[in-house]
C-alpha cells in the first residue's frame, strides 16, 4: 500500500518504489474549483486517498476518508509528485450528522481553552461542507519552503498494532501514555499536565474515541514533544456510536461513572497533588461552560449553523455536573 500511496505520510516519512528517485520539488499542483472539489470528495469514497491516480501519493492513518492537500490563494489544491502537503481535509462522515461542524467546534473550543490546537476551518464545495485543518507536522519557512516534521502516535511509540488501539482490546491506557511522556519528551512535567487536560477536555465534550492513535509525539528538536490536539469529535451526541470511552478514567469506561475522584487516581497519591488536580479540573470545567456558548454565538454570527453545536454544549453541561 505504501508503495502506491506513501509519497506523503504522517510525519516526515515518504515512500517510493525501489529504484525510483523521489521527484524534485516542483509546484505541480491542481487547484480545484468547487465542481472539481465536489467530484474529488465523491471519488475518495470509492478510491481512498485517490490511490492509482497518477501523481498523487499521500497516506494518512485513521478510520475516515480524508485528503492531504495544499492551499493556493484560499483554494484547495491537490499536490502531485509527493511534495509536502500542508492541510488535511475531511469530508462529512456518512451517517454522522454534521461531523465537519462537530470537529470544527471541538477543535476551536480546544484552542479557546488554551490547549495546543492547529488552525481549522469549514469549507464548502458548492453546498457540501468539509473540515480543513492545518498540518502541525509541516513547517513553512519565510521563503515558502515546506519541511516535514516527524510524528509518531502513541500506539506507534509503544509498538502497539493499530487493530488494538482501544484499551479494552489491549491498547494503551492513560498510565501508559503518561509513561511515554515521562520517558521520551523534552518537557515531561508540562506534557503530562497537557495530557491530563486533554483527558478532561475529551471527557467533557463527549469524545469516546480518544485512543492511542489520537495522541502523538512531534519531533521538532532532539527530543519529541506532545503534538497538538487532533481528531476531536463529540461522539456522545450520536446515540448510534459507542458510549464507552477509548481509555478508562480512574478505572471507569462509562462516562456517567467519572467524577473528580476518578481524576485523583491519575495524580500522585499526595494531598498537594490532589488539591492541584482539583483546582485545575474545576477551573477547566468552569471555563468550558462559559466559552462553549460564546463559540456557538461566534460561529452563528459568521453564518455557520448546526444543531450539533447545541448538542455538544448540552453534553458539556451534563458532564460538568459530575464535578460540581
Ligand X SMILES: Nc1ncnc2c1ncn2[C@@H]1O[C@H](COP(=O)(O)OP(=O)(O)O)[C@@H](O)[C@H]1O
- Residues contributing to the site for ligand X (CB under 6 A): 10, 60-64, 66, 88, 118, 133, 135-137, 153, 213-214, 216, 230-231
230 binds, among Mg ion, ligand X, none (CB under 5 to 8 A by kind): ligand X
Q: What number of residues does the chain have?
A: 324
309 binds, among Mg ion, ligand X, none (CB under 5 to 8 A by kind): none
| DSSP SS3 for 123 | strand
Q: Write down the least CB distance from residue 62 to Mg ion, Å.
A: 4
Q: Write down the least CB distance from residue 282 to ligand X, Å.
A: 30
Answer whether 136's CB lies under 8 Å from 228's CB. Answer: yes
Q: Write down the least CB distance from residue 187 to ligand X, Å.
A: 20
Which residues lie near Mg ion (CB under 5 A)? 62, 214, 231
- Strand 87-91 vs strand 128-134: parallel, antiparallel, or unpaired? antiparallel
60 binds, among ligand X, Mg ion, none (CB under 5 to 8 A by kind): ligand X
Answer whether 60's CB lies under 8 Å from 14's CB. Answer: no
* Burial profile 167-189: b = 16 or more Cβ within 10 angstroms, e = fewer: beeebbbbebbbbbbeebbeebe
Phi, psi (5° rounding) for residue 219?
-95, 75
Q: Write down the least CB distance from residue 154 to ligand X, Å.
A: 10
| DSSP SS3 for 16 | coil
Residue 13 grid cell: 516519512
Q: Is the dihedral of CA 48, 52, 56, 57 positive or negative?
A: positive
Q: Write down the least CB distance from residue 213 to Mg ion, Å.
A: 6
194 binds, among Mg ion, ligand X, none (CB under 5 to 8 A by kind): none
Q: Which residue is nearest to ligand X (CB)?
A: 62
Q: What is the 3-state secondary structure (H, E, C) of 129-180?
A: EEEEEECCCEEECCCCCEEECEEEEHHHHHCCCHHHCCHHHCCCCHHHHHHH
Q: Would you call 209 a catalytic residue per the annotation?
A: yes
Q: Which is nearer to ligand X, 135 or 198 (CB)?
A: 135
Q: Which one is catalytic: 81, 98, 197, 209? A: 209
Q: Which is nearer to ligand X, 93 or 315 (CB)?
A: 93
136 binds, among Mg ion, ligand X, none (CB under 5 to 8 A by kind): ligand X
Q: Rounded to an integer, what distance in angstroms lies between the CA atom of residue 96 and that of residue 100?
A: 9
Residues 6+ apart with CB under 8 A from 35: 126
Going along 20-86, which residue ranges are E strands? 29-31, 67-72, 75-79
132 binds, among Mg ion, ligand X, none (CB under 5 to 8 A by kind): none
Query: Which one-letter DSSP state was computed for residue 314?
Result: H
Q: Which is nearer to ligand X, 81 or 153 (CB)?
A: 153
Q: Which is nearer to Mg ion, 151 or 214 (CB)?
A: 214
68 binds, among ligand X, Mg ion, none (CB under 5 to 8 A by kind): none
Residue 81 grid cell: 509528485
Residues 6+ apart with CB under 8 A from 275: none
Q: Which is nearer to ligand X, 152 or 311 (CB)?
A: 152
Q: Which is nearer to Mg ion, 202 or 214 (CB)?
A: 214
Q: What are 121's strand-pairing partners? A: 132
Q: Which is nearer to ligand X, 5 or 88 (CB)?
A: 88
Residues annotated as part of the active site: 209
Amino acid at each position: 500500500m505504501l508503495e502506491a500511496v506513501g509519497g506523503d505520510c504522517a510525519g516526515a516519512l515518504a515512500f517510493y518504489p525501489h529504484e525510483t528517485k523521489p521527484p524534485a520539488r516542483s509546484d505541480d499542483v491542481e487547484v480545484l474549483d468547487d465542481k472539481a472539489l465536489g467530484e474529488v470528495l465523491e471519488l475518495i469514497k470509492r478510491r481512498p486517498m485517490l490511490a492509482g491516480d497518477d501523481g498523487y501519493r499521500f497516506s494518512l492513518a485513521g478510520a475516515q476518508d480524508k485528503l492531504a492537500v495544499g492551499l493556493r490563494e484560499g483554494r484547495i489544491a491537490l499536490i502531485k509528485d509527493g511534495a509536502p502537503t500542508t492541510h488535511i481535509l475531511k469530508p462529512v462522515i456518512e451517517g454522522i450528522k454534521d461531523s465537519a461542524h462537530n470537529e470544527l467546534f471541538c477543535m476551536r473550543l480546544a484552542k479557546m481553552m488554551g490547549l495546543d490546537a492547529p488552525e481549522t476551518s469549514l469549507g464548502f464545495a458548492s453546498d457540501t461542507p468539509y473540515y480543513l485543518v492545518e498540518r502541525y507536522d509541516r513547517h513553512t519557512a519565510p521563503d515558502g519552503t515546506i519541511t516535514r516534521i516527524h510524528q509518531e502516535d502513541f500506539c506507534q511509540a509503544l509498538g502497539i498494532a493499530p487493530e488494538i488501539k482501544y484499551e479494552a482490546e489491549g491498547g494503551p491506557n492513560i498510565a501508559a501514555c503518561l509513561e511515554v511522556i515521562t520517558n521520551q519528551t523534552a518537557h515531561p512535567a508540562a506534557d503530562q499536565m497537557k495530557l491530563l487536560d486533554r483527558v478532561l477536555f475529551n471527557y467533557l465534550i463527549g469524545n469516546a474515541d480518544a485512543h492511542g492513535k489520537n495522541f502523538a509525539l512531534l519531533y521538532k528538536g532532539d527530543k519529541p514533544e506532545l503534538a497538538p490536539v487532533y481528531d476531536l469529535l463529540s461522539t456522545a451526541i450520536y446515540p448510534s456510536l459507542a458510549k464507552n470511552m477509548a481509555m478508562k478514567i480512574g478505572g471507569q469506561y462509562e462516562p456517567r461513572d467519572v467524577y473528580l475522584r476518578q481524576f485523583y487516581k491519575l495524580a500522585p497519591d499526595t494531598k498537594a497533588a490532589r488539591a492541584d488536580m482539583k483546582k485545575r479540573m474545576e477551573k477547566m470545567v468552569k471555563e468550558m461552560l462559559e466559552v462553549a456558548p460564546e463559540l456557538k454565538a461566534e460561529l452563528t454570527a459568521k453564518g455557520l449553523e448546526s444543531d450539533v453545536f447545541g448538542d455538544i454544549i448540552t453534553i458539556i453541561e451534563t458532564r460538568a455536573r459530575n464535578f460540581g
